[in-house]
Structure 1
Amino acid sequence: MVEAVIWDFGGVLTTSPFEAFNRYEREKGLPLGFIRSINATNPDTNAWALFERSECTLDEFDRLFAEESAAKGTRIPGRDIIELLSGNIRPEMVTALKRCKEQVKVGCITNNVSAGKGAGMARSSEKAAAVAEVMSLFDHVIESSKVGIRKPDPRIYEMACEALGVSPAASVYLDDLGINLKPARALGMTTIKVLSPEQALKELEAAVGFPVA
């Protein structure tokens, strides 16, 4: 019996920042996946990890990311990456969130940084307002930049379940990254890897047992 649906934000309720990364790489003549390769190197201690846990400032991240990218062949200021993070809201996923809220508890676990406006790191007031409207739907939101813990640390999933008053086994978790789904699944959560809204909503309906579209 599902008692809660817990959502990642970027790449699930919004378009993926990876799309923006790819666009930046094409514009700069960089190999596809270059930015992600930097973030995947020393994933628990690199500039990205430090910033998501609020263990460095924006200025420090700007410098550290530039140093890490330069070591791989091309210097990219960290501030360039921050400008790419805020995706566009996916209306069909927000509709599904609302349908879930009518039946079960809903929560959000997002790895984010202290930059931009609000939990979605929006770069404009208009986008910030749209993100805030979505965030207001959740019964509880956990932001890595505020709690000092980031996915895939198992503690962050436990924190979400505790805050919602549900067991992991009674929860469904959606994320676009397999590395973030693995610990959730190990805790007993039903997991859905979001490859596209259509695929994710089909799997979500099967998991919760009621229409979400």
Structure 2
Amino acid sequence: MDAAYFAGFNRDLHDPNRWRDFYLAQQAKDPTLPREVPPMPNVDGEKLFHDMMTNSIPPDPWMYPALKRLKESGRYILAALSNTVIFPPGHPLWKEDPLDDPVRSLFEVFVSSAHVGLRKPDPRIYELALRTVRDYAAKNAGSARGKALGWDQGIQAGDIVFLDDIGENLKAGRKHGFHTIKVHLGRTYEAVEELEKITGLELAGDHPKIPVKPNFERFKQSKL
């Protein structure tokens, strides 16, 4: 995530063809938008990306308690398959120890795209994730937990429940044999409810189940 990356990111953000395609896609969802494609906005890509990453730091109020309770149950291997980035030392979001994070520390397996050189929905990263989970199970099959859960029998693709907020990523997961749950941003409690049905566990925390709408007004008032 250096200067060269953001130079390329800004070029992409100011590509008139991408802007037109984006606007037409939004217009298809909302026919009240003006027919004529408006002028392309001037976007500070680095500031936008920094804001996005900063806003994503606080744990989700519905999913985080669910992950903690899944971990406490001991009945499942918690694995993350995440499209990630690496910030250079000195960047405000750089961490010397990537595991120094309340969410990441919950996972026993963590496949980071920036570290393995693959990103969802590339089929190879799903294969890698499954192999990594299998390796974890095999190495721990002799433990009391591993014996109780039958890890010596191996882990199959159909044993995995894969959650994601992007349709293409979910489609690729299904092709690989995973069960999938769509996570709707701002309504992640719906995915938690699906997990409760699958696991039979009470996973929901005490946060009110009220949809959270994106705050676009802050961006309108900025110089983006």
Which range, TM-score by smaller chain?
A: 0.5 to 0.7
Q: Is the 8 A contact 2:87 2:94 kept in 1?
A: no
Asked if the contact 1:169/1:190 (under 8 Å) is kept, the reply is yes
Q: In structure 1, list runs of 5 or more residues that go unmatched.
A: 1-56
Q: What are the residue-to-residue correspondences of 1:127-206 with 2, within 5 Å?
A: 132-165=101-134, 166-195=155-184, 196-206=187-197
CA offsets 1:73-114 (integer angstroms, 9 cap, x no match): 344343123212321311331111122222210011111111
**CA–CA distance in structure 2, aligned partners of residues 129 and 159 of structure 1:** 20
Tell me how far apart the structure 1 counterparts of residues 131 and 168 of structure 2 sit (CA, whole Å): 22
Decide whether the 8 Å contact of 1:65 with 1:77 is kept in 2. no
In the TM superposition, what is the alpha-carbon distance from 1:129 to its structure 2 partner? 9.2
Are residues 192 and 131 of structure 1, via their aligned partners in 2, closer, same or farther at CA, if it must alter by over 3 Å? farther
| Identical aligned residues as a percent | 32
Structure 2, unmatched stretches of 5+, are 17-39, 135-154, 205-224
Does the residue aligned with 2:43 lie in a helix, a strand or coil?
coil
Q: TM-score normalised to the size of structure 2?
A: 0.60
1:113 to 2:82 alignment = no
RMSD: 2.6
Aligned match for 1:83, one of 30, 50, 57:
50
Contact 2:192 2:203 in 1 (8 A): yes
One-letter amino acid matched to 2:123: P
| Matched positions, count | 152
Contact 1:70/1:76 (<8 A) preserved: yes
RCO comparison, higher one (Cα < 8 Å, 6+):
1
Residue deviations 1:126-184 (CA, integer Å, cap 9, x gap): xx999712211101111111110000011212222221112210000111111110010
Compare CA radii of gyration and give the structure with the larger one.
2
